[in-house]
Amino acid sequence: MKILVTVKLVPDTTADKRIDPATKQLVRSGVETVLNPFDEYAIEAGLQLKEKIGGDTTVTIVTMAPESGKEIVRKALAMGADDAIMISDPKAEGSDVWGTAYALAQAIKKNGFDLVLCGTQSTDSITGELPGALAEFLGVPGITHARKLEVEGTTVRAERETDNGYAKVTADLPLLVSVTKSMNTPRYPALKGIMGAKKKTIAIASLADSGVDKPVGHEGARTELIDLVSPPTRGKGEVFQAADAVAGATKIIEFLRERKLV
Amino acid sequence: MIATTFDALLRRDLDFQLYAMQGLGELVSRERYAEHDVETFASIIDTAYDVAGERFAPIAAELDAFEPTLRDGVVQTLPALAGALDAFVEAGFMAVGFDAKHGGMQLPHLMTVATQLIFSAANGPAAGYPFLTQGAANLLAVFASPEQQKTWLEPMIEGRYFGTMALTEPQAGSSLAEVATLAVPHADGTYRLTGNKMWISGSEHELSENIINLVLARLPGAPAGVKGISLFIVPKFALDPSGEATIRNDVTVVGLNHKLGQRGISNCALSLGDRGACIGYLVGQEHAGMRQMFHMMNEARIGIGAWATCTAYAAYRYALAYAKTRPQGRRTGAKDPTALPVPIVEHADVRRMLLAQKAIVEGGLAIVTYCARLVDDEHSHPDPAEREAAHRLLEVLTPIAKTWPSEHGCEANSLAIQVLGGYGYSPEYPVERLFRDQRLNPIHEGTTGIQGLDLLGRKVTLGGGIGFTLLLARMREEIARARADATLIKEADALAASVDRAEAVTAILVGAQRELGAERALANATIYLDALGTIVIAWMWLAQARVANERAANATDDAFYAGKRTTCRYFFRYELPKAAPMFDLLASLDDTTTALAIAEL
Ligand SMILES: Cc1cc2nc3c(=O)[nH]c(=O)nc-3n(C[C@H](O)[C@H](O)[C@H](O)COP(=O)(O)OP(=O)(O)OC[C@H]3O[C@@H](n4cnc5c(N)ncnc54)[C@H](O)[C@@H]3O)c2cc1C
Ligand SMILES: Cc1cc2nc3c(=O)[nH]c(=O)nc-3n(C[C@H](O)[C@H](O)[C@H](O)COP(=O)(O)OP(=O)(O)OC[C@H]3O[C@@H](n4cnc5c(N)ncnc54)[C@H](O)[C@@H]3O)c2cc1C
């Protein structure tokens, strides 16, 4: 079984981020790059399935990112994935959701797949739209926000998180699933894995090599950024003075009641 | 994994010490490390920071509050500790330095020490369990038979078995010559032990499948003193006839010792052979126990220096962050009572306290990593003369690398509390716990007093004084290098004078050992250790400032490098001058302590 895990490289989640006012885009250079933390859950899900199913099951990492991110992709290999495909092409820069999803879909189709696993969102653009768009381009069902995942033969059973609970869904391979944080605890790359990852293949492909036959990047972007505004600054909080804890708690309860929050 | 901001041990500083100061990168050219590259080192250190930051650091306070408990012979520890240690083991950190043939990663000793530093900074007591295991495994890797290595060492490297060092007895602490535990040969080639061990860290818990105690004991009729001591493997579960470790050995926990600090690591009083059935397996030759122990002593003691450094480092980082945010008082001399208070880091005295801590912790880090590199050179330098030189240098430097960070670490931890004022004195803030944890380090693995005697009474003259002569030469080489840097000439001159003085006073003290006897000449050995230690740390600071200047040539506004320069200056102005009066006292061969009658105390 061929499991592919899509992984985004993002600026360090704890770093201060800056938007370039001219391009209205996030400045991605000069900040340390890391694996999108949400994608570690998808990698872990893939590795656990591989361990369970065994046989000739493989886990391949797929990313669209500049070649300079190669060592970061290696972290995913150090966790235990078998190999990686990187779509690295200056012409990919400026890809919106459509472009990213289309390019990834073409590369994934070219490689062949049974199951595509995604994170639920990135920590930089955070649209959460990519998995849906990717499933569409791949022409397979997409189960988003899965918190539980089982594969038996070609049948996939999953639990989808919803606003007020979860839904049990069943579908057949080939399929795309996006994985939430509640599914598992990602493993740390083990020292043996780190050593082993040096010998694993990271195949770097241009857009053309990946079978991307339409313009993506700035040229193909179908999204136009019209304006950027900062969120309104929050009003000053209200400070209660109280003689003791009981009096303080009473005031807080009153406050919440007034707003029908309790 | 959640992104953490774990910076109890500054990554930039660690990388500076490993790469810029100690040349970790060049070790990959050695045959032993040919499998590795610098990217691998970086990834391993990344993972160490992740595991330490996410699994070790968050439970440090809770681990301190939840001391191990003993019920029906079973020692319970904080449940989250098991999870942290599992993550450590699964990631493979137990195996870092061991030979590939035993299942190890065969990484440089600098990498072993780097990972120890990271985990110690996150949670010292939790890190104690694997570090004791690595120490015990080190001994087995050198002296145990191939079968013993298969049976006991390999599961330790896998992290399934943990290890301990069981030397101390109630009547035998500093003086291991007094070890009285008896080991009687048994018909099947094993031994039966009887005796009491005291203060044995990690000797009972449920955190691993088995616990491998390395026990010092005597055979019947063995020579008195250290020459009659042998080393035994005494596992919690001994081997059954089929060779499986299933027999619960006759090792009883008589009690848990309650401690000022390091509370997360169980520490037991053990009784061996209550039922006459405590099985032990001899390691190496009979009566060779102490010699074997000494073989590993350097690495173990540098490990304590590293532990001490990190315990102070973590407190310093906390105190620094606190000082930047705590508003209190106004600039000295400011008149306007309505002006807003300034963060305490603005006050000169608080800066002095922070600089004093920085000088100790980064100086400590420099000496322990310098020694770790020497261990690598001792084991894998292609030139046999360099291997020998590294060995000789380690002999003299080990007592300093163990003691200076431990003693001055206590000072630094005390200053961290001082920076927090009343809050520092409260368990709500980590500096109080770190202060308590630190207090152990001048005591175990040879007290400061014992280290002083070892340095002045033995190491300085060992092999005709080769090690000491080499140390002086290394310091003078650095002085020559630093003199080429116009900004460091004053410091280089000051160090040169101190090194000359150390050489002269050492000659006086060595002469006095012959003329006046050891008791008088060694009476102030601890002060000698501190004085020479201060010079060694000054040397480390001069080297750090020089390297920082070289690196900063293109980055003059880099605060990290500027901090190295400033702290070097601090050390030379505030700390190095303290060595001179110590040498004066030593040179005078003062007899106040030896001459006094006990009744005068
Ligand atoms: C005009 C325009 C230009 C843009 N230019 C860039 C640019 O140059 N570089 C850039 O990074 N973003 C750029 N973006 C943002 C772009 O929309 C997103 O990077 C991309 O569509 C993914 O969306 P997301 O980050 O919101 O992912 P989400 O939908 O939040 O992420 C869900 C999951 O999708 C997968 N995924 C997302 N991105 C990738 C990827 N690149 N490779 C593999 N898997 C992935 C991951 O598994 C992730 O967990 C641009 C956006 C616009 C509108
Ligand atoms: C928390 C903790 C953990 C420990 N873990 C272990 C462990 O895992 N394994 C193990 O084997 N041991 C362990 N120890 C024991 C430790 O190594 C000893 O406590 C230490 O060696 C000192 O021995 P002692 O306590 O008997 O003190 P003593 O030897 O009685 O020393 C008391 C004082 O006298 C001084 N002194 C003693 N002899 C001389 C001398 N000849 N000249 C000058 N001064 C002298 C010492 O410097 C010290 O200041 C641990 C101890 C503690 C507190």
Q: CATH second-level architecture of B2-156?
A: Orthogonal Bundle (1.10)
Picking from B259, B118, B282, the residue whose alpha carbon sits closest to that of residue B201 is B259
Q: Judge contact between B407 and B442, C-beta under 8 A.
A: yes
> Please, which residues bridge with residue A10 across strands?
A34
CA-to-CA distance for B530 and B533, rounded, in angstroms? 5
The model's confidence at residue A28, banded by pLDDT at 50, 70 and 90, is confident
Find the DSSP H helices in A32-86. 39-53, 70-79
* pLDDT score recorded for residue B489: 97
- Please report which helix (H) or strand (E) contains residue B271, including its range: strand B267-272
Active site residue B445: yes
3-state secondary structure (DSSP) of residue B66: coil
CB contact under 8 A, B3 and A194: no
- Tell whether the model's pLDDT for residue B557 goes beyond 80: no
Question: Mean of the pLDDT values across residues B84-89?
Answer: 98
pLDDT digits (tens, 9 = 90+) for B582-596: 999 999 999 999 999
- Tell whether the model's pLDDT for residue B299 goes beyond 80: yes
Residue B507 has φ and ψ, to the nearest 5°, of -60, -40
- Tell whether the model's pLDDT for residue B126 goes beyond 50: yes
* pLDDT score recorded for residue A22: 83
Most ligand 1 atoms within 8 A of CB, residue of A130, A225, A228 to mutate:
A130
Distance A151 CA to ligand 1 centre (A): 28
Kindly write down the DSSP assignment for every residue of A152-181, as one continuous string: ETTEEEEEEEETTEEEEEEEESSEEEEE-G
Find the DSSP H helices in A112-153. 130-138
The ipTM assigned to this model is: 0.85
CA-to-CA distance for A209 and B254, rounded, in angstroms? 71
* pLDDT score recorded for residue B4: 42
Kindly write down the DSSP assignment for every residue of B411-446, as one continuous string: HHHHHHHHHHGGGGGSTTSHHHHHHHHHTTTTTSSS
Asked whether B440 lines ligand 2 (CB < 6 A), one says yes
> Please, which residues bridge with residue A171 across strands?
A156
Cβ-in-10-Å burial (0-12, 13-18, 19+) of A128 comes to middle
* pLDDT score recorded for residue B376: 97
Question: Mean of the pLDDT values across residues B350-376?
Answer: 98
Report percent pLDDT > 70 for chain B.
99
> Please, which residues bridge with residue B165 across strands?
B214
- Tell whether the model's pLDDT for residue B3 goes beyond 50: no
Q: Judge contact between B14 and B120, C-beta under 8 A.
A: no
Question: Mean of the pLDDT values across residues B72-84?
Answer: 94
Interface of A with B in 65-104 (CB under 8 A): 71, 74-75, 78
Distance B468 CA to ligand 2 centre (A): 27
Residue entry with tokens 């691998």: B40
**Count of A–B CB contacts within 8 Å?**
54
CA-to-CA distance for A90 and A217, rounded, in angstroms? 8
CA-to-CA distance for A43 and A3, rounded, in angstroms? 10
Q: Judge contact between B60 and B430, C-beta under 8 A.
A: yes
pLDDT digits (tens, 9 = 90+) for B255-268: 999 999 999 999 99
**Looking at CA atoms only, how far is residue A72 from chain B in angstroms?**
9
Task: Please identify which of the residues B154, B395, B445, B491 carries the catalytic annotation.
Answer: B445
List the CATH code of the domain at B162-286.
Answer: 2.40.110.20
* pLDDT score recorded for residue B523: 97
- Tell whether the model's pLDDT for residue B294 goes beyond 70: yes
Question: Mean of the pLDDT values across residues B180-188?
Answer: 97
Q: Which residues fall within 8 angstroms of residue B254, CB to CB, at 6 or more apart?
A: B196, B268, B269, B270, B271
Q: Which residues in chain A have Cβ-Cβ distances shorter than 8 Å to B50? A: 188
CB contact under 8 A, B91 and A75: no
- Tell whether the model's pLDDT for residue A50 goes beyond 50: yes
Mean pLDDT of chain B: 96
> Please, which residues bridge with residue A3 across strands?
A59, A115
Distance B109 CA to ligand 1 centre (A): 42
pTM: 0.91
Q: CATH second-level architecture of A2-220?
A: 3-Layer(aba) Sandwich (3.40)
- Tell whether the model's pLDDT for residue B1 goes beyond 60: no
The model's confidence at residue B555, banded by pLDDT at 50, 70 and 90, is low
Determine the residue of chain B that is closest to A70 in CA distance.
Answer: B39
Picking from B451, B450, B356, B438, the residue whose alpha carbon sits closest to that of residue B398 is B451
- Tell whether the model's pLDDT for residue B115 goes beyond 90: yes
Q: Which residues fall within 8 angstroms of residue B30, CB to CB, at 6 or more apart?
A: B380, B381, B382
Most ligand 1 atoms within 8 A of CB, residue of A100, A126, A127, A178 to mutate:
A100
Name which residue leads in pLDDT, B546 or A262: B546
Q: Cis (ω within 30 of 0) for the bond into B58?
A: no
Q: Judge contact between A171 and A34, C-beta under 8 A.
A: no
